[in-house]
Amino acid sequence: MLSVTSFESIQDHVSHVRQVFFSGKQRDLKWRKHQIQRLYDLVAENEERLIEAMYFDMNKPRNEALVGDIAPVLDECLYFLDNLDALAKDQKVKPRSIVNKTAKAIIRKDPLGVVLIIGCWNYPVQLSLLPLVGAIAAGNSVILKLSEVSPYTAAVITDLFPKYMDTSCYRIVNGGVEQTTALLKERFDHIFYTGNGTVGKIIMEAAAKHLTPVTLELGGKSPAIIAHDADMQLSANRIAFGKFFNTGQICVAVDHVFVPEHRVNEFVAAMKITLEKWYGPNPQESESYGRIIADRHVDRIEAVLNNRTSGEIAIGGQIDKSDRYMAPTVVVNVKYDDAALMSDEIFGPILPVISYKEIDEVIGLINKREPALALYVFTNKEKLAEKVLRNTQSGGVSVNDCLVHQAEYSMPFGGVGGSGMGNYHGVKSFDTFTHERSMLVKKQAMEGTNNVRYPPYTSRKLSILRVVLVAHPWMLKLKANKSPLKVLAVFLAILFYLKRK
């Protein structure tokens, strides 16, 4: 069973890891690598326990647990073990100002301090431990708040953590709203949260009291667009993957799909082929289909379906509350202003289908909402995809596929506007948890040249400062035409040489 952290322990955890941070223990890169290696070992050596826990929490299939939770954390650990030395190295910068040409300009990569990471239940391993890897790599102390909504996985991580990690620097907190509220009263140097926008606003408000920066990984109603020219069966396959993977409980899941009005029936037929091939005639009996995380979420998703003001169920719709099961469901003829289906992120296995005539119509509808965390476009025409991207906003994009951009950890992942702020994955995780500390190093010499900046101020000193500090526009033109000027100089030199001959 998952034990709740006491309020007294929360204060002690934060105070203790801050004291250890100021001891400088985490500054050593070898020590950071050792902790990252231990986190790798925690996941790799206990993969079966973690997969079993996720199965108990939400009937998560083994393949989905590996792809969505286990593999990303292992890959991130290996990335930092291989690249940490280069990432943490001081960065030398060429001074722009002429007065600093003899000085050393350096950007140090300092840790922020004590970081709070608040994980999420839908990917309880990845969304808790992946940002933790970046925070460790950057040299921070960490308080890790696991999600109580996935209690089996949280209990396993809590049990394993002290056996592998240095708990003088990293502590786990478990509990619900009360424990999270208590945490937010403490001062942190950064807060990293994954979840919904409502809680994101609460976290941002609490962080503002301490001027604490935040990274908010939220969500939104991520649309998919099937263009007139798209391969329908391919599009259906990949949209089904983007909608029903993890039973639709993904922040970047396809929330709804725009389909040309003359191809809606074709899309439904293609989707039926896909779903029967994947899950059989009864998805409830399939070992490849998961469950909704909790009873209250089943009730919420059922209300979304039953309270809709438009559309007809073309596929699925079956619900078994005792099993927390909801069938893969497709609803056609949905109106974009449907209060139930189209107000908030669905976060479940219901796919509204909205028909359209022209792509400009779709772009206009998308821009009526806050930018989503993901945008999906299916087309063979690069210009059409580019038109959509030029005229919309989103956290990330996959063209002719779904979800995969989030799983490419060489790229930053994050939202914009209502879908979040800040990003992470790979080098961006290191940057998120790092303070770039600018440092200018000068020698105790050449004091005479500094007299021009000291009082008493004179018109002569002002003239010198103006020449030194304010570049004349002609200098920019000379730089811009550097190559032609070189050619001209060579040409004149050749003429001069020939004339002398």
Residues labelled catalytic: 217, 251
Secondary element (H or E) of residue 424:
strand 423-424
Q: Of 388, 405, 387, 404, which is closest to residue 396 (Cα–Cα)?
A: 405
Per the structure block, which two tokens stand in for 41?
């070992």
Q: Which residue has the tokens 């890790």?
A: 144
Three-class DSSP category at 395:
strand
C-alpha distances (whole Å) from 153 to each of 50, 109, 272 are 6, 34, 33
State the Cα–Cα distance between residues 343 and 298, nearest whole angstrom.
18
State the Cα–Cα distance between residues 450 and 411, nearest whole angstrom.
45
Per the structure block, which two tokens stand in for 388?
């959509």
DSSP 456-487: SP-HHHHHHHHHHHS--HHHHHHHHTHHHHHH
Q: Of 361, 326, 362, 364, which is closest to residue 346 (Cα–Cα)?
A: 326
Secondary element (H or E) of residue 271:
helix 264-279
Detail the DSSP E strand segments found in 130-282. Answer: 141-145, 170-173, 190-194, 214-217, 223-226, 256-260
Which residues are CB-contacts of 30 (< 8 A; sequence separation ≥ 6)? none
State the Cα–Cα distance between residues 400 and 412, nearest whole angstrom.
20
Which residues are CB-contacts of 348 (< 8 A; sequence separation ≥ 6)? 247, 248, 249, 292, 297, 300, 301, 304, 326
Q: Of 36, 14, 205, 214, which is closest to residue 114 (Cα–Cα)?
A: 14
State the Cα–Cα distance between residues 478 and 211, nearest whole angstrom.
45
